[in-house]
Amino acid sequence: MLVPVTSHWRVPGFVPVLKLTGAVLLVLVGVLFATDAVTLAVAVVAAAGLALWGARDLLARERLAADETGLTVVTGFARRRHIPWAAVEKIAVERRPHAGVRSETLEIDTGDAVHLFSKHDLGAPPDEVAAALEAVRV
């Protein structure tokens, strides 16, 4: 009996910790240094957004998985979607310079949607993940 080989890519553990720590620090800075209610409200709203972003990283750490049947990607807040290989039109790495910083994004085009993953989503460089996906796809 053949055991299916599945490759997984996930958010590194330090990323949600940084986001949640940042949320706590925003609230503390707001409470300690806010001079009016509006400033405090802005700090709390920003902290809530950062906390939700960190919570998503904890709830859906595995952003991408691949096996011989296809890909499983996270969509929305934490929902998973299986995409058969036949539905994958293109796997590419987009490189873009912005403000002196080069960013790389893995793009998976399925015709009806484009799924984007950064290095921080995958825990690995996008070009390495693209090569691994192409190897599994064959």
pLDDT tens digit string along 86-135?
999 999 999 999 888 889 999 999 999 999 999 999 999 999 999 999 99
Question: Dihedral of CA 87/61/15/126: which sign?
Answer: negative
With a CB cutoff of 8 Å and minimum separation 6, the contacts of 41 are none
Say if 5 falls within a structural domain: no
Q: Are residues 80 and 125 in the same domain?
A: yes
Domains in the chain: how many in total?
2
Q: Are residues 91 and 31 in the same domain?
A: no
Domain boundary (59, 80, 98) is at: 59
Say if 112 falls within a structural domain: yes
Indicate the SS3 state at residue 89: coil
Domain boundary (40, 59, 78) is at: 59
Q: Are residues 41 and 68 in the same domain?
A: no
Say if 1 falls within a structural domain: no
Domain that holds residue 90: 62-137
Say if 6 falls within a structural domain: no
Count the residues in the chain. Answer: 138
27-58, pLDDT tens digit by residue?
A: 999 999 999 999 999 999 999 999 999 999 99
| pTM: predicted TM-score of the whole model, two decimal places | 0.85
Residue with tokens 């490189």: 95
Distance CA 40, CA 58 (A): 27
